[in-house]
Amino acid sequence: MTIPASFIQELIARADVVEIVGRYVQLKKAGANFMGLCPFHGEKSPSFSVSPTKQFYHCFGCGVHGNAIGFLMEHAGMGFVEAVHDLAGQYGLQVPEDDASPAERARAANQRQKQATLTDVLEKAGEAYRKALRQAPGAIEYLKGRGVSGEVARQFGIGYAPAGWRALASVFPDYDDPLLAESGLVIVNTEDGAEDAKRYDRFRDRVMFPIRNVKGECIGFGGRVLGDEKPKYLNSPETPVFSKGRELYGLYEARAAFRERGYALVTEGYMDVVALAQLGFPNAVATLGTACTTEHVQKLFRFTESVVFSFDGDAAGRRAARKALDGALPYATDVRSIKFLFLPAEHDPDSFIREFGADAFARFIQEATPLSRFMLEAAREGCDLTTAEGRAHMTSNVRPLWSAMPDGALKRQLLSEIAALVQLDAAALSELWASTPGPRKAAAAPGQRHAEPGHESEYPDMPPPAEYEPPRYESDSKPRKFTKGKRWGGKFEAPIEPLRGRGKPPSRPDVAARLLLSNMAQWDALSHELHLMLCDLPGPHGALFTWLDSQLHEHGVQPWAALREGMRGLDFETLAERLMNVSESAPVPEGEEEQHLADAAKELASVLDFMLDDRLKAQQSEAIAAVGKDPKALERYKALEARRLELRNRLNPRGAETA
């Protein structure tokens, strides 16, 4: 969209920069201008000047300056077009769109009107939740137990959703209003195609955290359950005004603190943000139950040049940090600081500060791991740099990470560090990467489908040979026999439809993915070690299991149909759909549901035991390689051997049954 320069000039002429800035900064008349404390850096005496004659602001302390549009972009984090529309709306002006048709303009106007209406609905609900909190002793007790003061609760607009199924009916007289469903406040259940849909509140008996955009408008909610129900935290669904992959909880409240403290602290949950604000760290924000995305990082860098990601020190925290690294690399310029903070496994930010004090936490932040070091640690994980193979493996791991960085001094310095680690000259490494193309999809031959990313198989559009019967899953040793009529996770009258292709059998990760997608509840029953093993798998399998873990924490157990909708457009969509298409062709016979679940659980345990045995075997090899250099390597090897022996004792009878 192109906005005419003449309109921008007219808008600046009509707007009153003193009025716009005065909504965010307390200004006092000082001669011909107005003065106040700069909102872009911490100061005790005012050096921020706003000129009504020039329609300009300027800070004599940090040097920031601009007009009303620039202020909205800098202080409210808006893009240029958004700031123009926002300012024009305040003065009743229609923004002309040179390259938009009348129909497109009408659609855009309707969309803006709908967004404004939805935020009004959400604001009204938020006010009702805040009033309900005053009469909710259980919710008040929970907040007091977490150390939240009334002042901080008011600052973040915390409320309470009553336990009733239709509590919002007393707030909105027209409970059937479609806007209530479109805003995510009400769920419409149309089970069995019933004409009279059942409507009920999405949030019930939960402490409510309003999610605000950078302008302070309520665009959604997060609800924390008071009892033992699942999920513990529930977010608003995706709506025209809310996308959890782009929004950050607490951003509106923390904007000024970013400038004052000099950095943004990204945490993992609502209560982390609220507790940190209570304990003297008002510059904290949180992602909304999702991994940190490039959109999150881009939004943060509108307000600050320094970001610290805070994670738990356990394996799940390391996985989340790895995702944040991917999102941050494209913005790692020479003038920005990106760090990764790993708390001790037994602490979150709240408990750490209460035990060791705010000064200790501040020092911990100061000593956090820089992006450059964490990137190299992530790339060398699992690589034995004492061998040529290990160094070559690291070279392969680090290439996409380094390539994602913008060009500059930091990127070039890292090239030298990488070259030193893999024992290559920097020029030779650069030449190697320039002459060797990165991984890419091969063009499909006529009559063939594209293989999904990270998968070696191809699936021609032709039926497989009649005699083809794939084994139950791929084994690194003796191939297992495939039994007709017995499918992954259950027994059926019809034989399994073989996967199309050149005879490559489903792998163990394929089987595990299919079983867990068929019955998501099994994921919660797995050990932390198995979660880590599955999420660390390379390619689309690891991404699929990581996503499945996040879905369980955010939405609870979901059926395959819901999971299918949630993964549209993601890298592992093709893999999951291919695996599940096999199971959808033949339902479980009536009366065999319990046996089906039991067989599925049994087979999943078997497959995971085989995968865990392979993982332990690889760890043994690493331990043997370290003997002579690490005094504890032999002890580690013996412990791994004991675990493998226990696994083999379990696997032998299973192998006989499933052969």
Q: Which CATH number covers residue 70?
A: 3.90.580.10
Same domain, 287 and 327: yes
Beta strands in 236-325 (DSSP E): 264-267, 284-286, 306-312
pLDDT tens-digit map of 345-396: 788 888 889 889 999 999 999 999 999 999 999 999 999 999 999 999 999 9
Picking from 337, 329, 339, the residue whose alpha carbon sits closest to that of residue 407 is 329
Specify the residue for token string 């045995």. 613
Picking from 397, 396, 414, the residue whose alpha carbon sits closest to that of residue 405 is 414
Looking at 403, 418, 434, the residue that finishes a domain is: 434
Residues 587, 490: contact at Cβ < 8 Å? Answer: no
Same domain, 418 and 539: no
Q: What is the pTM of this model?
A: 0.57
pLDDT tens-digit map of 512-557: 998 998 888 888 788 878 888 898 898 899 999 988 887 776 656 6
Q: Residue 438: pLDDT band by 50, 70, 90 thresholds? A: low
Same domain, 279 and 323: yes
Cβ-defined contacts of 472-475 (< 8 Å, 24+): 472/506, 472/511, 472/658, 473/505, 473/506, 473/507, 473/508, 473/510, 473/511, 473/607, 474/504, 474/505, 474/506, 474/507, 474/508, 474/510, 475/508, 475/610
The predicted pLDDT at position 185 comes to: 95
Cα 61 to Cα 45: distance, rounded to the nearest angstrom: 10
Cα 549 to Cα 535: distance, rounded to the nearest angstrom: 8
Residue 529 lies inside a defined structural domain of this protein: yes
Q: How many domains does the chain have?
A: 5
> For the domain that residue 215 is a member of, what is the CATH number?
3.90.980.10
Residues 570, 546: contact at Cβ < 8 Å? Answer: no
Picking from 305, 310, 301, the residue whose alpha carbon sits closest to that of residue 262 is 305
Same domain, 216 and 336: no
E strand or H helix that includes residue 49:
strand 48-51
Same domain, 367 and 387: no
Residue 499 lies inside a defined structural domain of this protein: no
Looking at 376, 396, 420, the residue that finishes a domain is: 376
Picking from 304, 329, 320, the residue whose alpha carbon sits closest to that of residue 267 is 320
Q: Where are the alpha helices (H) located in 188-293, listed in sequence order?
A: 251-261, 270-278
Same domain, 389 and 269: no
Residues 258, 283: contact at Cβ < 8 Å? Answer: yes
Residue 496 lies inside a defined structural domain of this protein: no
Same domain, 147 and 40: no
Same domain, 628 and 571: yes
Q: What's the mean pLDDT in 557-584?
A: 74
623 is written with which tokens?
Answer: 């331990």
Residue 447 lies inside a defined structural domain of this protein: no
What mean pLDDT value characterizes the chain?
80
Residue 589 lies inside a defined structural domain of this protein: no
Measured on CA atoms in the order 279, 285, 289, 294, is the torsion positive or negative?
A: negative
Residue 101 lies inside a defined structural domain of this protein: no
Residue 502 lies inside a defined structural domain of this protein: no
Same domain, 513 and 640: yes
Length of the chain: 659
Same domain, 164 and 272: no
Same domain, 426 and 547: no
Cα 293 to Cα 244: distance, rounded to the nearest angstrom: 10
> For the domain that residue 516 is a member of, what is the CATH number?
1.10.860
> What residue numbers bound the domain in which 607 lies?
508-581+595-653
Looking at 178, 207, 235, the residue that finishes a domain is: 235
Lowest-confidence range among 252-256, 269-273, 411-415, 553-557? 553-557
Measured on CA atoms in the order 72, 77, 81, 86, is the torsion positive or negative?
A: negative
Residue 555 lies inside a defined structural domain of this protein: yes
Same domain, 51 and 175: no
The predicted pLDDT at position 619 comes to: 87
Cα 58 to Cα 94: distance, rounded to the nearest angstrom: 29
